[in-house]
Amino acid sequence: MRWRAEKHTPYLLLSPAILTILFVVAVPLVFSLYTSLTPYRLTKPDSINQFIGLRNYERLLDDTKFWWAFGRTILFLTIALNLEFLLGLGIALLINRITWGQRTLRTIMMFPMMFSPILVGFQFKFIFNDNIGILNNALQSLGLTDGAIPWLVERDLAMFSIIFAEVWMSTSVFAILLLAGLFAMPKDPLEAAKVDGCTPWQVFRHITLPFIMPFAYIAMTIRSLDVARAYDIVDVMTGGGPAGRTELLWTLIARVGYDNAKMGQANAMAYVSTILSILFTWYFFTKLVAARRYMGGAA
Amino acid sequence: MTSLHKRQVKAVLTWIATFILMIVMCVPGLWVVLSGFRPNREILAKPPVWIPEDLTLDNFAAIFGLSDAQVAIPVIDYFANSMIIAVTSTAIALLVGMSGGYAFARFRFGGKNALFLGLMLSRAVPGIALSLPVFIIWSHLGLIDAPMGLIIVYVALNVPFTIWLIDGFFRQIPKELSEAAQVDGCTRWQAFWKIEFPLARSGIASAGVFAFLTSWNEYALASQLTRSTDSKTLPVGLMDFTAQFTIDWAGMCAMAVIIIIPALILTFLVQKHLIAGLTFGGVKG
């Protein structure tokens, strides 16, 4: 009897979590899949009963705006995540060398991580403002430029500004976790390698890097869980402008779904972005699990 | 001699790099905070005023409706909404997360890994994509523009990560402790509250802080599921300032300070546990 009870306990303990996720995520996603097969518009509630098959998805294939936003999102994420990883690694190695004030530096590094994305967006809207922003003011006071640089108005600069804000917000995640990896690293192999005459690069490449990679995967997994928070930044900084040049998949979804009230079409787009995010998270999570198994074997 | 020289140069370069890094990390935030205490005319001044001549609390008085210069934005309501929603959803997420985290840390059961992965992936759904169906369903349930509507959503957003962290903290506690207590006549329930919970308490607290901050900072879902002062949170309220024809930079900066302060205090308090939780729970699983 006791054994039977024991068998059901974990499921019982997990049931609140499962029910919440079913109610708030799983059921809405099923509903969203259905909605994406209808021409549903918020202004015409009856249109939700009209089944049109995959027509919304077919329309996406011809929708240049969608593909531009799709491509831009991929580009944005590729640049931002690679920069965050490289900068985070650099920062972690840098702080690891410092012997005095290390903990204070680490605390300061945590702060961007805790900023609301909407605040990060606002902060950089303020700083990159062409008229009153501290950046243009500084550049002009130093005599580096005469005119005001239109950071958020010129299309390439606007994209740059958004990536800057994103990298500023999220590099800390990588830096802190990689630093934790460096702290946890045993010192013996490093010294042994030095005695054996390895160059610093060889030590880094073959000892340090493999050891801290699981920590990088944790960071990647945490990041991939909420890549879409870049939506907040873009929404407040440029709103997708100028002329749609910073439109990402997520801002496009909001525009089509809420501003144009085309819920069916927006849900089809949302499905594409959801699948993208899930694949991304899944990829890094399996990497993490594999690395974890490897670490477990070593420890 | 040359090696000593080289080492000195290296140390100086390290410090210069660290200094630049800290400036890039701190100045943007500090500039916003500082501007919250400056009058709007000084922020807008051309040529720029670099050293603040006039620090005031007027902006805060204005957004809280305490001065003559009224700002038509009900920050007090937003603050109250944010607090109620964040605290309630955190409390519920912690209970759900403790129960789930304990299950993952202490039991073997069928479908364990799949379930864990499923929970994690549920968190990966972009907020704005999730908001579309939730918006439609919530409007049928009367949960639009109601704090309860957001609380439910935030519990679901926080559960996966809370479970991840708490699972990690429970794993750190040797199983033998609670087994010994059970041998001595405690029930499993008693052993949990008397042994495991007190030991994992600081870790659970940091998971709570993480959940609180997620709810406190969330924008994509809140911006669509709220309409009025009944449920609008601070991040959504911040956008009120840009909706006006001219941006009230000083007011916005003051409001930014109000959003930042609780986040900074909480982060500072639990940073050590947070790092331990993220790495231990993640690596030694």
C-alpha to C-alpha distances, B283 to A38, A136, A174, A299, B118, nearest whole angstrom: 44, 44, 15, 11, 19
For residue B266, which residues of chain A lie inside 8 Å, CB to CB? Answer: 114
- Other C-beta atoms lying within 10 Å of the C-beta of residue B240: 19
Q: Is A10 domain-assigned?
A: no
A221 to chain B: which residues are within 8 Å by CB? 120, 282
Identify the closest residue of chain B to A127 by CA–CA distance.
Answer: B28
Question: Taking the domains of chain B in order of start, what are their residue ranges?
Answer: 2-63, 75-283
Q: Which of residues 216-275 of B touch A (CB under 8 A)?
A: 216-217, 219-220, 223-224, 235, 238-239, 242, 249, 252-253, 256, 259-260, 263-264, 266-268, 271, 274-275
Which of A2, A12, A94, A232 to substitute to test the interface with B, most B CBs within 10 Å? A232
The string of pLDDT tens digits covering residues A53-73 is 889 999 989 999 999 999 999
pLDDT at position A298 is 39
- Report the pLDDT value the prediction gives residue B243, as an integer from 0 to 100: 61
Checking if the pLDDT of A250 tops 70, the result is yes
- Per DSSP, the three-state class of A44 is strand
**DSSP reduced 3-state for A41:** strand
In a domain, A25, yes or no: no
Q: Domains in chain A: how many in total?
A: 1
How many Cβ contacts (< 8 angstroms) between chains A and B? Answer: 276
Task: Tell me the pLDDT band of A114, cut-offs 50, 70 and 90.
Answer: confident
Inform me whether the C-beta atom of residue A257 falls under 8 Å from chain B C-beta atoms.
Answer: yes
pLDDT score, position B68? 66
Q: Which single residue is written with the structure tokens 């972009």?
A: B126
Q: What is the pLDDT of residues B160-196, one digit of tens each?
A: 989 988 988 888 888 888 888 888 888 888 888 888 8
pLDDT for the residue numbered A296: 52
User: How far is CA A197 from each of CA A190, A204, A207, rounded to the nearest angstrom?
Assistant: 11, 13, 14
To probe the interface with B, which of A29, A30, A42, A118 has the most B CB atoms within 10 Å?
A: A118
Query: CA A89, CA A77: separation in Å to the nearest integer?
Result: 18
Report the predicted TM-score, pTM, of the whole model to 2 decimal places: 0.89
**Residue in chain B lying closest to A13 (CA):** B99
pLDDT of residue B69: 63
From A23, A254, A292, residue closest to B128, measured CB to CB: A254
A212 touches chain B (CB under 8 A): no
Task: Quote the pLDDT of residue B71.
Answer: 62
Q: Note whether residue A258 is domain-resident.
A: yes
- Partner residue facing A118 (CB), from B125, B160, B235: B235
A270 found inside a domain: yes
Is B155 part of the contact surface with chain A (CB cutoff 8 Å)? Answer: yes
Which of the four pLDDT bands, split at 50, 70 and 90, describes residue A2?
A: very low
How does residue B1 score in pLDDT terms, banded at 50, 70 and 90?
A: low
CA B275 to chain centre: 15
**Domain-embedded: residue A266:** yes
- The CATH number of the domain holding residue A80 is 1.10.3720.10
How many other CB atoms sit within 10 Å of the CB of residue B87? 15
Measured CA to CA, the distance from residue A102 to residue B275 in angstroms comes to 15
Range name among B57-61, B66-70, B220-224 with the lowest pLDDT average: B66-70
Structure confidence at residue B283 (pLDDT): 44
Contacts 24+ apart (CB under 8 A), A59-68: A59/A265, A59/A268, A60/A265, A60/A268, A60/A269, A60/A272, A65/A244, A65/A247, A65/A252, A66/A252, A66/A269, A68/A244, A68/A247
The H or E element containing residue A13 is helix A2-21
pLDDT score of A263 more than 70: yes
- Nearest partner of B121 among A281, A25, A20, judged by Cα: A281
Span B41-50, mean pLDDT? 80
Q: What is the CATH number of domain B75-283?
A: 1.10.3720.10
Q: Give the mean pLDDT of chain B.
A: 86
DSSP B47-91: S---S-S---SHHHHHHTT-SSS--S--HHHHHHHHHHHHHHHHH
The residue of B189, B219, B238 whose CB has the most chain A CBs within 10 angstroms, and thus the best one to mutate to test that interface, is B219
A118, A127, A266: residue with CB nearest B28: A127
* Of B29, B43, B152, Cβ closest to residue A123: B29
**Residue A231, Cα to own-chain centre: how many angstroms?**
10
Which chain A residue has its CA at the smallest distance from B253's CA?
A123
pLDDT at residue B66 in the model: 74
Residue B133: per-residue pLDDT: 94
Nearest chain A alpha carbon to B14: A94
- Least CB-CB distance to B126: which of A113, A257, A273? A273
Q: Is the pLDDT of residue B284 over 50?
A: no
Higher pLDDT among residues A28 and A7, named by residue: A28
Tell me which residue in B22, B48, B285 faces A137 most closely, judged by beta carbons: B48
Give the closest of B17, B159, B282 to A17, CB-based: B159
**pLDDT recorded at residue A294:** 66
- The verdict on residue A292 lying in a domain is yes
- Residue A47 DSSP class: G
What's the CA gap between B266 and A114, in Å, rounded? 9
pLDDT at B70 over 70: no
The per-residue pLDDT for B102 is 93
Interface membership of A287 toward B (CB under 8 Å): no
Pick from B48, B127, B256: which is nearest to A231 by CB?
B127
Return d(Cα B167, Cα B161) in angstroms, integer. 10
CB-based contact (8 Å) between B163 and chain A? yes
CB spacing of B271 vs A21 below 8 angstroms: no
pLDDT at B53: 78
SS3 A36: coil
Q: Give residue B78's pLDDT.
A: 92
What's chain A's average pLDDT?
A: 87
**Are A181 and B253 inside 8 Å of each other by CB?**
no
Task: List C-alpha distances in Å: A257 to A65, A193, A250, B235.
Answer: 14, 58, 11, 21
Across B92-107, b (16+ Cβ under 10 Å) vs e yields bbbebbbbbbbbbbbe
Question: What residues make up the domain containing A126?
Answer: 63-298
Chain B within 8 Å of A297 (Cβ-Cβ)?
no
The reported pLDDT for the residue numbered B280 is 59
Q: How far apart are CA B59 and CA B252, in angstroms?
A: 9
**Does an H or E element contain A229, and which?**
none
How sure is the predictor about B45, in pLDDT bands with cuts at 50, 70 and 90?
confident
3-state SS, one letter per residue, for A239-299: CCCCCCCCCCHHHHHHHHHHHCCCHHHHHHHHHHHHHHHHHHHHHHHHHHHHHHHHHHHHC
What pLDDT does residue A252 have?
94
Specify the DSSP element, H or E, that contains B187: none
Residue A208 counted as domain residue: yes
Closest among A244, A82, A70 to A155, alpha carbons compared: A244
The model's confidence at residue A120, banded by pLDDT at 50, 70 and 90, is very high
In whole angstroms, what is the distance from residue B135 CA to residue A28 CA? Answer: 9
Give contacts of A267 with chain B, Cβ < 8 Å: 132-133
B contacts of A109 (beta carbons < 8 Å): 25
In 3D space, the residue among A72, A69, A79 whose CA is nearest the CA of residue A254 turns out to be: A69
Question: Min CA distance, A255 vs chain B (Å)?
Answer: 11
